[in-house]
A and B are shown apart, each in its own frame.
Chain A
Amino acid sequence: MSRLSRLLALVAVLLVAGCGKPDFSDAEKKTIASLALNALPVLKPDTTNRFADVPAAAALGSTLFFDQGMSHDGNVSCSTCHKIDRQFQDDLPQAVGVGRTNRRSMPLAGVARNPWFFWDGRRDSLWAQALTPLENPLEQAGNRAAFAHYIQKRFGERYERIFGPLPDLSTVPANASPLGNEAEQAAWKAMTAAQMDDVNRVFSNIGKAIAAFERSIEPAQTRFDRFAIDLASGAKPKADDAFSPEEMLGLKLFIGKANCVTCHNGPRFTDNSFHNTGVPPVKDLPLDRGRFDAVAQVEADPFNCFGAFRDGDAGACGELRFMVKDAPELMRAYKTPSLRGAATRPPYMHAGQFSSLEEVVAHYSAAPAAVEGTSEVHPLQLSDRERAALVAFLKTLSE
C-alpha cells in the first residue's frame, strides 16, 4: 500500500466518522439522555389532595372512572373517552360523550405530572380536572347534587371509610349545580350555603379519588428508551433495539435542525407549556382561542388551588399564583402534548386536525401562519427524506 493510498484510506475513515449518521456529539448525547424514560423523576406527592396516595381512594377512583352511572344518561364514564386499551384516549378527532365536544381526548400516561390540565390548561390540578367533564353537558352531563346523592346511594360505605362521614343530603335537591341547566341552577341558588358546601365537598372528593387512581397511569419504556440507555452506557444495542439509519437521522433532526426538542423536551417530551403553532381551526366547531380564554376559567374555578377544597398549604399553588394572565402569545396557544405513544394514536392536535404523523411533520415543516395570534414555528423546508426520518423516529416512541 502506498503512502498516498494509506492517507486516502485514513481520510475516508475520518469522513465516515465525522459525517456518518450513527455518531452523536456529546451535546446530542446529553439531549438524548434527557429524553429517556430513566430521566423521569419519581412522582411528587400532591399536597393539594391528601388522598392522592391513599390506596382505598385510588380503588374507589378506579371504580368511578369506569362507572357509567357517573353520567346523566347512564351511558358515559371517564373511560368512554379515556379507553384503557387505547392509551386512555378514544382515537376520535373530537371526543364524544353525551354529545360531541370540540376537543381531542388526551391520553393519560404521566398525567399526574402536568402542572395544567386540558389542552388549554383551564384546570390546575388533576382532581379539579376530573370534576369538569362530570358536569359538562357534552361529556358526562351530570350535576354535582345528583353525583353526591349517587355516591351516597352506591358507594356510601366506601366513601365514608376514606373521606369520613357523608353530610346529611336529605334536604339537598336531586339535581342542582351552579353550572347546570336553568332548573339545576335555580335549585342550586335555593340551597343554603352549608348545603352548597356539603355538596361541593363530596364532589371535590370524587375528583380526589379519581385523581388518586390516575396517578398510577405512567408511561412505559419504549425502544427509544432502550436505545438511549445503550447509547449512554456505550453498550451495543440488542438486535431489535438498534436504530436504523433512518431512525437515527430522525432522532438527529428531532434534537437538531427540526427544533422539535425545543418544546418536546424532557422524558415526557413536553415542556408543559402552551404554544401557538399555527394549527388551523376546525370548520363548524365553536370559536376556540386556547389558553387565551382558559386563564379566566381556571381563575374562576372554585376547585382551583386557591379555593376552599385544596388540602395542604397554598405553597403548592405556585403555577396558579405566577400564571401568565395577559400576553399576546396566549392566543390560540395549546399545551405541548407528550409524544410517547403518539405514533399509534392518530388523529393529532387539539381538535384532531391531522390524521397522520406525516401531516403533522409536514405542518411543522411548512409552518403556515396562525389564523389568530402568531405562530411560534418557523418554516424548515425539510426534504421528503427528512420528514420520513422524523416519522420513523417518532414510531420508536410507540414500540
Chain B
Amino acid sequence: MASIWRYLLAGLGLAALLAGILAIVYLTAPQSAPGTDVSRSKKTANGLFVASFQPERGVIKQGELQSWLLTLKTVKGDPVEGAAISVSGGMPQHNHGLPTSPQATDYLGEGRYRIEGLKFTMSGVWQLRFAISAAAGSDTVVFNVVL
C-alpha cells in the first residue's frame, strides 16, 4: 500500500516540476508576435512590383520621427520611377491608426523613395500599408514592423 502512495506522490511531484519548468519557460519567453511576417522585402499584393522597406539610418527608435526608404523594382528588377505613393497603417492589435501621417517626400533615384514622418510610439506590431501607382499600374503592399 505504502509504495502506491509513494508512486502517486512522486507522480504528483513530477507533474508539479513540469508545471514549474513550463511556467519559467513561459514567463521568460520574449514577447514576440509569432507568425508575424516581418520581412523587409516582398512582392506587392498583385505581383506588380517588388518593394523593400528599410529605416534610412538603419535603426528604429521608438517615439522619434524618422525616415525610411521604400525601394520599388519591377519583377524584372528595373527601378520603378515616378511612382505616386500613399502611406497608411496602424496597430491592428490595438485598433488604432498611425500617430503621424507619413509621406513620400523625395525620390532618390534607383527606385528609392524617402518615406518621412514615421513614428512608432509604442511596442507591438505596427502595420504600414503603401498604395503605389506607377506606369505599370497600381498595387499595394503591407509591411509589419515589430517593436
Query: Does A8 count as interface, using CB distance less than 8 angstroms?
Result: yes
In the bound complex, do residue A266 and residue B116 qualify as a contact, i.e. CB atoms below 8 Å apart? no
CB contacts (< 8 Å) of A14 on chain B: these are 17, 20-21, 24
Query: Does B33 count as interface, using CB distance less than 8 angstroms?
Result: no
In the bound complex, do residue A327 and residue B24 qualify as a contact, i.e. CB atoms below 8 Å apart? no
Query: Does A265 count as interface, using CB distance less than 8 angstroms?
Result: yes
Task: Give Cα A50 to B9, complex, Å.
Answer: 75
Total A-B residue pairs with C-beta atoms closer than 8 Å?
92
Shortest beta-carbon distance, B61 to chain A, in Å? 10
Query: Does A197 count as interface, using CB distance less than 8 angstroms?
Result: no
In the bound complex, do residue A262 and residue B13 qualify as a contact, i.e. CB atoms below 8 Å apart? no
Task: Give Cα A184 to B51, complex, Å.
Answer: 57
Interface of B is mostly: mixed
Shortest beta-carbon distance, A257 to chain B, in Å? 12
In the bound complex, do residue A322 and residue B24 qualify as a contact, i.e. CB atoms below 8 Å apart? no
Query: Does A18 count as interface, using CB distance less than 8 angstroms?
Result: yes
Q: How large is the interface on B (under 10, 10 to 19, 20 to 34, 35 or more residues)?
A: 35 or more
In the bound complex, do residue B27 and residue A18 qualify as a contact, i.e. CB atoms below 8 Å apart? yes
Query: Does B122 count as interface, using CB distance less than 8 angstroms?
Result: yes
Task: Give Cα A322 to B10, complex, Å.
Answer: 64
Contacts known (A4-B13, A7-B13, A262-B94); A318 close to B20, Cβ less than 8 A: no
Shortest beta-carbon distance, A5 to chain B, in Å? 9
In the bound complex, do residue B21 and residue A323 qualify as a contact, i.e. CB atoms below 8 Å apart? no
In the bound complex, do residue A17 and residue B9 qualify as a contact, i.e. CB atoms below 8 Å apart? no
Which of A19-27, A52-60, A139-147 participates in binding chain B? A19-27
Task: Give Cα A262 to B124, complex, Å.
Answer: 9
Interface members, chain B 89-136 (any A CB < 8 Å): 94-103, 116-117, 119, 121-124
Task: Give Cα A262 to B31, complex, Å.
Answer: 13
Interface members, chain B 4-28 (any A CB < 8 Å): 6, 9-10, 13-14, 16-17, 19-21, 23-24, 27-28
Query: Does B36 count as interface, using CB distance less than 8 angstroms?
Result: no
CB contacts (< 8 Å) of A4 on chain B: these are 6, 9-10, 13
CB contacts (< 8 Å) of A321 on chain B: these are 117
In the bound complex, do residue A376 and residue B20 qualify as a contact, i.e. CB atoms below 8 Å apart? no
Query: Could you say which of A25, A272, A322 contacts B27, with CB atoms under 8 Å apart?
Result: A25
CB contacts (< 8 Å) of A8 on chain B: these are 9, 13
- Chain B CB count within 10 A is highest, among A11, A23, A266, A321, for A11
Query: Does A183 count as interface, using CB distance less than 8 angstroms?
Result: no
In the bound complex, do residue B63 and residue A325 qualify as a contact, i.e. CB atoms below 8 Å apart? no
Query: Does A329 count as interface, using CB distance less than 8 angstroms?
Result: yes
Which residue of A is nearest B100, CB measured?
Answer: A322
Which residues does B use to contact A, with CB under 8 Å? 6, 9-10, 13-14, 16-17, 19-21, 23-24, 27-31, 62-63, 65, 94-103, 116-117, 119, 121-124
For the complex with contacts A4-B9, A273-B99, 12 further pairs of A-B residues with Cβ separation under 8 Å are: A4-B6, A10-B17, A15-B23, A26-B30, A27-B31, A265-B62, A272-B63, A274-B99, A318-B65, A322-B103, A322-B116, A322-B117
Which residues does A use to contact B, with CB under 8 Å? 4, 7-8, 10-11, 14-15, 17-19, 23, 25-27, 262-263, 265-266, 271-275, 318-319, 321-325, 327, 329, 376
